[in-house]
Amino acid sequence: MDRDPHVCVMGEDVGHYGGSYKVTKGLADKFGDLRVLDTPICENAFTGMGIGAAMTGLRPVIEGMNMGFLLLAFNQISNNCGMLHYTSGGQFTIPVVIRGPGGVGRQLGAEHSQRLESYFQSIPGIQMVACSTPYNAKGLMKAAIRSENPVILFEHVLLYNLKEKIPDEEYICNLEEAEMVRPGEHITILTYSRMRHHVMQAAKTLVNKGYDPEVIDIRSLKPFDLYTIGNSVKKTHRVLIVEECMRTGGIGASLTAAINENFHDYLDAPVMCLSSQDVPTPYAGTLEEWTVVQPAQIVTAVEQLCQ
Partner 1 sequence: MALSRLSSRSKGISRPLSAAFSRSISTDTTPITIETSLPFTAHLCDPPSRSVESSTQELLSFFRTMALMRRMEIAADSLYKAKLIRGFCHLYDGQEAVAIGMEAAITKKDAIITAYRDHCIFLGRGGSLYEVFAELMGRQDGCSKGKGGSMHFYKKDSSFYGGHGIVGAQVPLGCGIAFAQKYSKEEAVTFAMYGDGAANQGQLFEALNISALWDLPSILVCENNHYGMGTAEWRAAKSPSYYKRGDYVPGLKVDGMDAFAVKQACKFAKEHALKNGPIILEMDTYRYHGHSMSDPGSTYRTRDEISGVRQERDPIERIKKLVLSHDLATEKELKDMEKEIRKEVDDAIAKAKDCPMPEPSELFTNVYVKGFGTECVLCSVQGPLCEF
User: Residue 55 interacts with partner 1 (CB under 8 A)?
Assistant: yes
User: Looking at beta carbons only, is 24 or 113 nearer to partner 1?
Assistant: 24
User: Residue 4 interacts with partner 1 (CB under 8 A)?
Assistant: no
Q: Are 258 and 207 in contact (CB under 8 A)?
A: no
Residues between 64 and 103 that touch partner 1 (CB under 8 A)? 75-76, 79-80, 84-93
Query: What amino acid occupies position 146?
Result: R
Query: Which one of the listed residues 85, 112, 186, 197 is annotated catalytic?
Result: 112
Q: Of these, 177, 205, 266, 282, which contacts partner 1 (CB under 8 A)?
A: 177
| Maximum Cα–Cα distance across the chain | 60
Concerning whether 112 is annotated as a catalytic residue, the answer is yes
Concerning whether 237 is annotated as a catalytic residue, the answer is no
Query: Which one of the listed residues 12, 43, 117, 155 is annotated catalytic?
Result: 43
Q: Are 31 and 2 in contact (CB under 8 A)?
A: no
Residues between 249 and 268 that touch partner 1 (CB under 8 A)? 258, 261-262
Query: What amino acid occupies position 29?
Result: D
Give one DSSP letter per residue of 31-79, joined into a string.
H-TTTEEE--S-HHHHHHHHHHHHHHT-EEEEE-SSGGGGGGGHHIIII
User: Residue 148 interacts with partner 1 (CB under 8 A)?
Assistant: yes
CB of 46 to partner 1, least distance (A): 7
CB of 289 to partner 1, least distance (A): 36
Reduced to 3 states (helix: H, G, I; strand: E, B; else coil), residue 304 is helix
Q: Are 298 and 215 in contact (CB under 8 A)?
A: no
List alpha helices for the chain, DSSP H: 27-31, 43-56, 74-75, 83-87, 117-120, 134-146, 195-208, 226-236, 251-263, 285-291, 295-305
**In this chain, which stretch among 159-167, 169-177, 210-218, 273-281 interacts with partner 1, using CB under 8 A?**
169-177
Q: Of these, 23, 37, 104, 157, which contacts partner 1 (CB under 8 A)?
A: 37
> Any residues with CB less than 8 A from the CB of 82 and at least 6 apart, and which?
123, 124, 125, 126, 150
CB of 77 to partner 1, least distance (A): 11
User: Residue 40 interacts with partner 1 (CB under 8 A)?
Assistant: yes
Torsion of CA 155, 161, 165, 167, to 10 degrees: 40
What is the torsional sign of CA 211, 214, 219, 225?
negative
User: Residue 176 interacts with partner 1 (CB under 8 A)?
Assistant: yes
Q: Please tell me the distance from the alpha carbon of residue 79 to that of residue 34, in angstroms, as a whole number.
A: 27
Residues between 266 and 305 that touch partner 1 (CB under 8 A)? none
User: Looking at beta carbons only, is 41 or 207 nearer to partner 1?
Assistant: 41
CB of 267 to partner 1, least distance (A): 16
Which among 201, 106, 118, 119 has a CA at the least distance from the CA of 156? 106
Q: Of these, 20, 149, 205, 277, which contacts partner 1 (CB under 8 A)?
A: 149
Residues that are catalytic: 43, 112
Binding site for partner 1 (CB under 8 A): 8, 34, 37, 39-40, 42, 44-58, 75-76, 79-80, 84-93, 124-125, 127, 147-149, 174-177, 223, 225-227, 258, 261-262
